[in-house]
Structure 1
Amino acid sequence: MQLLHSLCRVPAPAGNEAALTQFVLNYVHEHQASWEHRPEIVADDRFQDCILLVFGQPRTAIFAHLDSIGFTVRYGRQLVRIGGPQVEAGYRLVGQDSQGLVDCTLTVDNETGELGYAFHREIDRGTELTFYCDFRETVTTVQSCYLDNRLGVWNALRLCETLEHGIIAFSCWEEHGGGSVAYLAKFIYETYGVRQALISDITWVTEGVHAGQGCAISLRDSLIPRRAYVDRIRAIAAASGIAHQLEVEGSGGSDAKELQHAAAPWDWCFIGAPEDHVHTPNELVDKRDIESMLALYRVLMQEL
């Protein structure tokens, strides 16, 4: 879990993913010699802070978003949400502005719900703040801020160790409206002819999806993937014997929303480990679901 711990510690709120982009690129350069197959690395100004790793003759693309939720300093001591973080007075927030490192406390007005911070000075407006990383590991679980979606990124990087054919797409802005997957999908489709995708992201523990019973294959959220494609995935998953669950939700979304709206015939399916305490500093995932997620992706990338 050392790689996951390191990923969770790198701040990358939506719109300011550069530090995590560089971390991932450094990791790829340092480790690709030990992988079974080396990818083409596509990372330049055309794709802003996104990264594509292209292996062999790809048939399927995996999308994993780099960014996280967080807060932007407004005026005075006000904060504005980045994405949809859960808020509770006393949460520890960290960042950096022109005056140095920031380590402050989230405040919530009891009457208005207005968000702010407690710190010994005013923080530069426009500064991004993220949850302080307190990574906790037990024999059966990991708990930290930003397992959504550092765990999806971890899954994608671990897949690179054995992947022969496929594309890994590390995207940006997913937590705050998206935008990057549109141009990534266009480039992938036009350059490689790939039009089927898996979304390496983290979902929720609910009354129907339980921790420790395997990763979730989502049949739908606020969007509905093409049933024929999802049925192919379900058949492969069933034949593999890998523990998994089926998820049905009426809300929520992911990088898939831009594939669904693309001007190309993209198929997609969200597959991810479920977590508890979503969008808090204390996101919690069962290790059995992490193992299931990686194992299922390995099989799917061979057979899809």
Structure 2
Amino acid sequence: MAFDFDFDLLRELTEASGVPGYEDRVRDRVRTVFEGAVDEVRTDSMGNVIGTVEGSGDYEVAVAAHMDEIGFMVKHVTDDGFLKVDALGGWDARVLRAQRVRVHTQQGDLTGVIGSVPPHTLSEEERETEDAVEDVVIDLGREADEVEEIVAVGDLVTMEQSTVKMGDTVTGKALDDRVCLFAMLESARELEDPEATVHFCATVQEEVGLRGAQALGVDVDPDLAVALDVTIASDTAGVAEDKQVTRLGEGTAVKLKDGSVITNPKVTRRLRDVAEAEGIEHQLEVLPSGGTDTAAFQKANGAKPVGAISIPTRYLHTVTETAHGDDIRSTIDLLTAFLASEDGGHDYSL
């Protein structure tokens, strides 16, 4: 059961490039999927895509998952033809050394590598120096004059990585948050004749401050919002159990809180009740830090009841993010069952 879903679509979404503010390639694929699954598709001026399934009642629910991935923007081309970059999103510089990247230019995509000095030539002092994103240098393997001709300040950089099956898991780049975007799209395709009108929202610029969802929450103005994002699964060697947050293979995660939001207790209870009634494997998430689109919808256009569903993921913000196939399936199932049961009759006021 580990891959009981459209893996090819998931691979397409994760391997596509789309940093904050420049989600075009992902947006095009999302619109194509929506065309065959929803009643109306629209895009706003920020680039959010909304696919609406019209319900038979007056109640409206928004579901959000973000399209953007962390990446970089070129800020300078050195006289020697190397690229200096500015981060788009939160990077741990330790994972960047010796990685392959794609530089997206007006003339097409170029392969590059983030340079790494051989340890043989480092002094003791240099060995102890901490890595920093501002020190990243990208080598395109070209002469300086050719680089100057092709690459411009403002060009975008993403990590280069394929998405593959690994045992019962999926691993690759940009599972944050394309694996949840995928789960949302699958739910849109599977949801049939809901009583509530459901707005499936593929949002932008989450990695730089939940910006797309904050604007979209005002425009859509739902009665209830549920956001999907990955969460930490540090269930690996050497990590204390109380710091693991979630574990791979133990089901979708119902978020109780993160650094940006405390979810509505009644919405959380309903999510858990639906999961239990449908026999959907699930676990609870208490995330010490970080933020998701959930918080943006909670505060937009007045207080809103919000809930959040998360997919446990190892090695977040690296090129080897890893999620379990069964957890992906249970996330699709819980979201779909929850939306199908929403009829406006549940009181989420506190």
Fold conserved between structures, TM > 0.5? yes
Q: Is 1:220–2:252 an aligned residue pair?
A: no
Aligned to 1:265: 303
The alignment status of 1:124 with 2:129, answered yes or no, reads no
Q: Does 1:183 align with 2:211?
A: no
User: 1: distance between equivalents of 2:227 and 2:106?
Assistant: 37
**Secondary structure of the corresponding residue to residue 273 of structure 1:** strand
- 1:302 corresponds in structure 2 to 340
Among 272, 280, 288, the alignment partner of 2:326 is: 288
* Equivalent position amino acid for 2:71 in 1: G
Distance 1:292 1:71 in 2: 33
Q: Secondary structure in 2 aligned to 1:260?
A: helix
Match of residue 80 from structure 2: none
- State the Cα RMSD in Å: 1.9
2:141 paired with 1:115: no
* Aligned counterpart in structure 2 of residue 90 of structure 1, from 78, 98, 102: 98
Structure 1 range deviating more: 292-301 or 257-266: 257-266
Post-superposition offset of 1:178: 2.4
Give the 3-state SS of the residue equivalent to 2:280 in structure 1. Answer: coil
Query: Which amino acid in structure 1 is aligned with residue 96 of structure 2?
Result: E
- 3-state SS of paired residue (2:181): helix
Amino acid at match of 2:48: C
Aligned residue for 1:240? 278
Residue 151 (str. 1) matches residue 179 (str. 2): yes
- Per-residue CA shift, 1:41-99, capped at 9, x if unaligned? 122xx443111111122532110111110111111321221101333311111022145
Cα distance in 2 between the residues matched to 1:286 and 1:100: 34
How does the TM-score come out when normalised to structure 1?
Answer: 0.90
Structure 2 Cα separation of the partners of residues 92 and 205 of structure 1: 25
Q: Is the 8 A contact 1:80 1:115 kept in 2?
A: no
Of the structure 1 ranges 134-143 and 151-160, higher mean CA displacement relative to structure 2 is found in 134-143
> How many residues align structurally?
292
Q: CA deviation at 1:242?
A: 0.7
Structure of higher CA gyration radius: 2
Contact 1:88–1:107 under 8 Å retained in 2: no
Return the alpha-carbon distance in structure 2 between the equivalents of residues 93 and 99 of structure 1.
16
Cα drift, residue 182 of structure 1: 2.2
Matched, 1:173 2:205: yes
**Most deviating of 131-140 and 173-182:** 131-140
Q: Which residue of 1 aligns with 2:109?
A: 101
| Aligned-pair CA distance for 1:108 | 6.2
Q: CA deviation at 1:13?
A: 0.4
